[in-house]
Structures are given as structure tokens and as C-alpha cells.
Amino acid sequence: MSKMAEMAQTIEDLRTAAASINAAADWLYQQFSGEDDSKQQKSKSAAKKEEPKPEVKLEDVRAVLAEKSRAGHTAAVRALLQKYGAAKLSEIDPANYEALLQDAEVIGNGS
């Protein structure tokens, strides 16, 4: 592997790690935000009523795919990317992120 390819892979790995850390920080913030249970229940019920579908971002997909790859499903992740017509995640059309994420979540679940 050339030095440039190694550097590119290292950069990709760092971005994946950063996305995973960011997702973990968001989850921790939500869990320990200091709101009492009654406020959380009210905000959850209000959110269900007007729940707009959140946009799936590249970082979200990258974090899930990196987790699956680290769990030993690298070949399945590559096959999934090829299914969407790309050799790497950055080549995938953002309109396909939600479907890709749904397909990725079943990798390794025995389905």
C-alpha cells in the first residue's frame, strides 16, 4: 500500500472514530441532560405529535458502517456499498443514505 493510500485510510479511520465519538456524546447528553422524567415524557409526547423525519447524514451512516466493519462484517459492508453503486461511502448519493442505513442495520443480526 502506498503512503498516500495509507494516509487516506488513516484519515478515513479518524473521521469514522470522530463520528462514533460524536454519536456517543449525543447519546450521553440525552441520557444525562438533567431534565426530570415528567419533562422528558412531555417532550417525548410532543415530539411524537409533530415528529418530522430527521435527515440521515453521512456521519450517521459512516458510524454504523464502521461499527459493522469492526464487528467483522467488512465484506458485507463492501457488498452493501456496491449494491448502491459505489466503492466507498463518499460516492453514494445522499438520497440513498436512509435506505443504506436500514440495510446496514441488519448486517450481523442473523437476518
> 43-98, pLDDT tens digit by residue?
666 656 666 777 888 898 999 999 999 999 999 999 999 999 999 898 999 999 99
> Any idea what DSSP says for residue 85?
T
Domain ranges for the chain: 3-34+50-105
How far is Cα 45 from Cα 68, in angstroms, rounded to an integer? 32
So what's the pLDDT on residue 23? 83
Return contacts of 44-50, CB within 8 angstroms, 24+ apart: none
Structure confidence by residue, pLDDT tens digits, 1-21: 688 888 888 888 888 888 888
pTM: 0.52
Task: Supply the pLDDT for residue 5.
Answer: 84
Look at residue 82 in the predicted model and tell me its pLDDT. Answer: 93
Rounded to an integer, the average pLDDT of 23-49 is 70
